[in-house]
Structure 1
Amino acid sequence: MLTMTIGRAQPLSETAAAFLVRFRAELDSHGWRAAARVIEDHWDRFVLTEPQILLDAFTTLPSEAFIETPSLLIEVDYLRYIASGAAPHAFRRRFNPAADTPSPHLTLRDTLFGVTSRVAAHRSAGRIADAVANATEARRVLDAADADDIADLRVALPHLTIHWAQALDVGDSPLAALEYEQTWAAAVATGQPRVSRRAAASLAWMHAEQGRIHTARKWLDHATGFDVAVDRYDVPLLLAEALIALDGLDTERARQQLTQADQFVAGEYWAASLWLHSLLSTSPEDIIITETLVTRETRRHVSRAVEPGAHRRLVALARWTLRARRGTLRGPGGPDDRIPAAIAAENAYRQGRFSEAHATVSRLPSDDMPPRLQGAVLLVAAASELRLDRREPALDAFRRAHDLIEREGLSMLYATIDTQTLRELSEASGLPVDSAVLQFLHNSSDDPRAAIPSLSRRERQVLALLASGLSNNKIAETLFITANTLKSTVRNLYRKLGVNDRTEASDLAHRLGLDSATA
């Protein structure tokens, strides 16, 4: 028997002392995960005979261990039960974390720990709807609880609610922001900077992604106000800073922040990272690398990528952005969701199908959208209305878009429409667009998308038929025009597209996804 102790007078057994030596060595050398595995390996040996030894080990784990793995809190609660002299079977009767319905005999602590474990488990398995349902139920239970019971959970609560907020966030629930805010306030009040910073960083990303840049900056200030080192939990902070920099056209800083974020495991923000990579992919080499990255990460997270929510939405945006960079504009599907519908509208606009683009955006409740999406929809509406010779509605939509973009600092959104149309709308409305913005966004003279909206309907038809391989005589016959009229149309078409012959025009039509069905 050794006389070694840990902050208490009772001596430790030789086995317990050896356990603690190994535990501390793993914690110092390999981090808390390795140390937690040592506890797990010795659980059966000490849980009934020396539960305090395991409790002492748990108390030396960093707070991030409990943030990432709330089940550790359940184990601590169980050990306290045993150390107090209660029978183990009593705890098991009162608390079953795998149960779908909490027992009426559970304490508030037991209930919330159990529901939080299910939230984390469902989220990890990609069952987002179940995770959201459990998180919503956990908040309902907490809001209905007695104040004295809540006071007993004061310190542990932020470690639980951060998981509820993350589940709601991934599920695109409108309750996510409030849950993060409550987590942040509770963590600040209990002096837990890591959880405070994590909640504030998540809020910063959420608002930045939606285009609420001023609000995002406020939460960035909150997140960076703690004197703690940057770690893997700061990925949303770094991504928010990257996106804000990109919106301000500061691509160098955006790349720096994204590179720093890539040094850590992205966790719940893997799809967000893909979207930012796609936004920063401008060269052919960048595009190829990012396309490979999107394919690899989507396969790794396939269960999450197919579930409705933030992951699927951001992957769709990443893929659309890369297609737009390549000029291969094909829509992602039906118009049930606002993101696919907005993308489909931009797709139709880019291909010169202005009536279709206008019809699509007119069905979207733009006033109920976050600023980033609302601005894009308004720009497509303005540009489509202008090309349909509806000047006043076009200028009204552009004024609303311009006001939103300038207010939030979302300059990158102007790239939603082509340079020529943007200039026309700016001049006609009397609302200036900074020349530096125009130069930055549209400095590529070989971007084929910019020319498409300026094509007439007849020119789009001819382009599609050229790509189909029909002879000139057959094309003229199909369109009921003379050969001379066709030659004149083709010359104008080549001039607008900046191509020299039929082969180049056909290649461009295929890249843009134009065929006889879309003409």
Structure 2
Amino acid sequence: MNVFAGAANSDRSRSPEEYVRELGLAGSAHPAAIGSHPDRSGAEFAAELYHATGGWKSLTRTVLEIAEHTELPADMTSTSFADYVAQLASLPELGLTDSDEKIAFLLSQMTSFTKPTALLSLSSIRSLDLGDSSLHDAEGVLMRLQMAGILVLDREESGRKYLHVPVFLAAALRRSASEWENYSSVVDDLAGALVDHLEKSQSVDPQVLADVTELARRNGLWSVLVRLQETIGLPMFLLAPRAVCAAYSGLPAQVLEQEPELSALSSLADSLLTRQNNVITVETTRDALVEESRSGRMRRFFSETITPGPPQNLAQDEAESPLGCFGKIRRLVGLAQSGDHAQAAQAGLQWSGEHGGHRSLLIIRLLTAISMFHSSEPRRALSILHELELVADERHVDGDFLLPAIGAWTALVATVSGDNERADRHLEWLFDEFSLPNIIGEMVFPATHIAAALRALDRLDLDRARQEYELLAACANLGPLWVYLPVISVSIAILGASTPPELLLSNDCVGRPHDSTSISGKGRDLLGASRSMVHIGLGQLKWAESELEHMSVASDLRIVLSVQVELIAGRYENVVVLADKWFYHQYLTPQSRASLAALKATALLRTGQTAEARAEFLTALGLSIWVNSLLPIASLPRPDRLGLLDLTADAEEWDRAFAVFGGYFRSKDDLFFRLREVGAISVDEASMPQLTDGEAKLLGLLAQGLSIMEISVELQQVTGTVKNRLSALYHKFGVTSRAEVVDQAQLLGFLNS
């Protein structure tokens, strides 16, 4: 057979002009174009037909015969209409060798493709039985198919030429090949090769994605849809929205039973089609995905309910009921929602090293890093996040959550860990690069707003902190991050309150959990520290100590606040001893060390050791500059802070401080003014009565409203002894009546109010 016979094939018109003339399509309006498309001219109709048929006249005549009996669809290039035409038409005589015709069939499975993709497909399909000659001369085969009119130029995009088999000819080729004995194997091989190509490529080609999803749905290759879900995930909907929605929507119940991992994306595709009224574009799909996220509906697809309880045996669970990648993601989210962050981190580390789709493994590692952060392992979390950022950046799709979520959590973990330079770098990157709304924004925005609010507090920018707080409060689902709402609110109040009641009111919201089961140990420490800070600010040192007792021993906040209690209580020797003891402890961050140095400087100043106080305060200032935070200075009692500022005003360290913070202050004087102004309400001294066990019991009986006679009976003491002990108790609290001693005891935290 002449391999170039197609060049002179009588069934194919060589040009659009020849096509119009030979088929009688000339005229202002061909009858087939009239009906539901009265605005379509004969020339436009002829051009559409030529593009869809590739000039093959036998296929065109079948379309015209259909048009005599019914209206043609608006989109004549749709696969469903092409398949209908192929049922009524025979495959044209293509004039190809058997091997070339098999390759033409293979390429007909793809809508549009580049030459490299075509060559990749040919080299990957061993089940097609092409013979060595065709495989060794793949480029020659493509050239022959182009000369025969089987392959034609579809379009040029981003400097790349896309080829295609005309849609009606492609449908006829597929129908003819469906009778092959190895048809299913060939299609399976092609789909697998295309998914491999997508997984290994630095960026996902939307056209290849569209082809493989359509190929998988048309041929019932459900495992291929699972692979795509694991390899590319939600960005599929942003890259090839029409094809992906068509592939995943309306999956039969038996398919979902066979491949339960498809349930989530199938439901999501159904929802997206409903939201868009079947008018599908990248923009409308992104908007619909964002709206699904905001409404909270997305969460039902990506988490499972786990009842809090003893740690699960992951190995046993996996053996009894193996989880796919998507199931593992749902399990990790469920564990985190139940508050079992340590178990989630352990599971995530185990699953991160297993085989799975590229995208799924990245998400598993992200969830692992988040759980490590909640489990008080920030360094390991940052290490994982850094690795993820390098990999995720290569395949980022605008509107996707993964890369900005990695950036947001890096900013938050870095802020909380005291790595403020890294935090600022990532916050700037987030605000500059990711202006589009993100799908699953709850993975991005809460962490971003918390980090931004905490960094604003570090700079004493209370207006920006309030702004970020309001944005955080507006987030629909904060999960375990809700604890930062009261933490930020209390910090703003301590720095900015103008009256004691304002400070007291800020404590009301602390410890009212949105979901108490999701509070991590770190979260409980943050809440306890916030309550303790308010109590210290109000001079309620007993309450502060009570809160500190319930915090983790390894909490650097507990260490710093315990020293602060000693300072406010007037136990200055203890302040110096404790500050020296804890300064180099492994638990402390550099910012906490700055706070200890500042507290020690205050104690030294109060005991008249001016030179030592100046030196220690400059140490605190140097550390504050290093960690890029003014909070260690601003958190000191205001009278002491003013004294230390005056004592060191001539120090060169303040020039360095302005060089670091100058972007947020007009001048060094403005920086000094801000440091003098904040934290005006917190008390600087609150002498705490030291009570014996007997005096504490006596105080409790007074609070119960017992009379002296009733107290005498309860304590088995004569009334005279009780009266003497009451007088001594009044003296310790500096009051003269039982009502006053109860009020004062409540204020200082000795009694519940």
Query: Scaled by the length of structure 1, what TM-score is found?
Result: 0.66
Question: Could you tell me how far apart the structure 1 residues matched to 2:730 and 2:523 are?
Answer: 49
Question: In proportion to residue count, which structure has more helix?
Answer: 1
Query: Given that residues 67 and 195 in structure 1 are in contact (C-alpha distance below 8 angstroms), is that contact kept between their aligned partners in structure 2?
Result: no
Query: Given that residues 245 and 253 in structure 1 are in contact (C-alpha distance below 8 angstroms), is that contact kept between their aligned partners in structure 2?
Result: yes
Q: Does 1:450 align with 2:684?
A: yes
Q: Which residue of 2 aligns with 1:295?
A: 511
Instruction: Structure 1: give runs of 5+ residues left out of the alignment.
Output: 13-27, 29-35, 75-95, 143-148, 453-458, 480-489, 491-500
More relative contact order, 1 or 2 (CA 8 Å, 6+ apart): 1
Question: Could you tell me how far apart the structure 1 residues matched to 2:261 and 2:531 are?
Answer: 53
1:336 is aligned, of 536, 547, 553, to 553
Q: Which residue of 2 aligns with 1:162?
A: 366
Question: Could you tell me how far apart the structure 2 residues matched to 1:196 and 1:410 are?
Answer: 27
Distance 1:376 1:7, change over 3 A: same
Is the partner of 1:450 in helix, strand or coil?
coil
For 1:377-398, what per-residue CA distance to the aligned partner results, in whole angstroms no more than 9, with x for missing partners?
A: 2211222233345556544432
2:342 is aligned, of 112, 117, 129, to 129
Q: Which amino acid aligns with 1:355?
A: E
Q: CA RMSD in A?
A: 4.9
Distance 1:275 1:266, change over 3 A: same
Q: Which amino acid aligns with 1:266?
A: L
Q: Which residue of 1 aligns with 2:401?
A: 194
Map 1:309-328 → 2, pairs under 5 A: 310-328=522-540
Query: Given that residues 197 and 222 in structure 1 are in contact (C-alpha distance below 8 angstroms), is that contact kept between their aligned partners in structure 2?
Result: no
Question: Could you tell me how far apart the structure 2 residues matched to 1:397 and 1:461 are?
Answer: 30
For 1:243-268, what per-residue CA distance to the aligned partner results, in whole angstroms no more than 9, with x for missing partners?
A: 22222222112111110111112223
> CA offset at residue 416 of structure 1?
2.6
Q: Which residue of 1 aligns with 2:675?
A: 438
Question: Could you tell me how far apart the structure 2 residues matched to 1:49 and 1:461 are?
Answer: 71
Distance 1:512 1:415, change over 3 A: farther
Distance 1:506 1:388, change over 3 A: farther
Q: Which residue of 2 aligns with 1:33?
A: none
Q: Which residue of 1 aligns with 2:196?
A: none
Q: Which amino acid aligns with 1:194?
A: F
Q: Does 1:260 align with 2:467?
A: no
Query: Given that residues 730 and 736 in structure 2 are in contact (C-alpha distance below 8 angstroms), is that contact kept between their aligned partners in structure 1?
Result: no
Q: Does 1:209 align with 2:427?
A: no
> CA offset at residue 512 of structure 1?
6.6
Q: Does 1:273 align with 2:490?
A: no
Q: Does 1:347 align with 2:347?
A: no
Query: Given that residues 348 and 354 in structure 1 are in contact (C-alpha distance below 8 angstroms), is that contact kept between their aligned partners in structure 2?
Result: yes
Question: Could you tell me how far apart the structure 1 residues matched to 2:479 and 2:449 are?
Answer: 13
> CA offset at residue 509 of structure 1?
6.2
Q: Which amino acid aligns with 2:381?
A: A
Query: Given that residues 341 and 361 in structure 1 are in contact (C-alpha distance below 8 angstroms), is that contact kept between their aligned partners in structure 2?
Result: no
The count of aligned residue pairs is 421
Is the partner of 1:172 in helix, strand or coil?
coil
Query: Given that residues 204 and 220 in structure 1 are in contact (C-alpha distance below 8 angstroms), is that contact kept between their aligned partners in structure 2?
Result: yes
Distance 1:474 1:274, change over 3 A: closer
> CA offset at residue 440 of structure 1?
1.9
Q: Does 1:226 align with 2:434?
A: yes
Q: Which residue of 2 aligns with 1:241?
A: 452
Q: Which residue of 2 aligns with 1:513?
A: 748
> CA offset at residue 220 of structure 1?
0.7
Q: Which amino acid aligns with 1:163?
A: L
Q: Which amino acid aligns with 2:572?
A: F
Is the partner of 1:321 in helix, strand or coil?
helix
Distance 1:67 1:474, change over 3 A: closer
Distance 1:373 1:462, change over 3 A: closer
Question: Could you tell me how far apart the structure 2 residues matched to 1:237 and 1:371 are?
Answer: 23
Question: Could you tell me how far apart the structure 2 residues matched to 1:237 and 1:311 are?
Answer: 17
> CA offset at residue 270 of structure 1?
0.8
Distance 1:97 1:355, change over 3 A: closer
Map 1:14-29 → 2, pairs under 5 A: none
Query: Given that residues 419 and 438 in structure 1 are in contact (C-alpha distance below 8 angstroms), is that contact kept between their aligned partners in structure 2?
Result: no
Distance 1:118 1:345, change over 3 A: same
For 1:124-159, what per-residue CA distance to the aligned partner results, in whole angstroms no more than 9, with x for missing partners?
A: 1112332232233344x35xxxxxx5xx63233222
Q: Which residue of 2 aligns with 1:145?
A: none
For 1:252-305, what per-residue CA distance to the aligned partner results, in whole angstroms no more than 9, with x for missing partners?
A: 1211111011111222311122200111222556545543332322xx433343
Is the partner of 2:358 in helix, strand or coil?
coil
Q: Which amino acid aligns with 2:635?
A: T
Query: Given that residues 354 and 385 in structure 1 are in contact (C-alpha distance below 8 angstroms), is that contact kept between their aligned partners in structure 2?
Result: yes
Query: Given that residues 196 and 223 in structure 1 are in contact (C-alpha distance below 8 angstroms), is that contact kept between their aligned partners in structure 2?
Result: no
Question: Could you tell me how far apart the structure 2 residues matched to 1:155 and 1:474 are?
Answer: 73
Query: Given that residues 304 and 312 in structure 1 are in contact (C-alpha distance below 8 angstroms), is that contact kept between their aligned partners in structure 2?
Result: no
Map 1:411-426 → 2, pairs under 5 A: 411-426=630-645
Query: Scaled by the length of structure 2, what TM-score is found?
Result: 0.47
Distance 1:461 1:256, change over 3 A: closer
Is the partner of 2:511 in helix, strand or coil?
helix
Among the aligned pairs, what percent are the same residue?
14
Q: Which residue of 1 aligns with 2:386?
A: 181
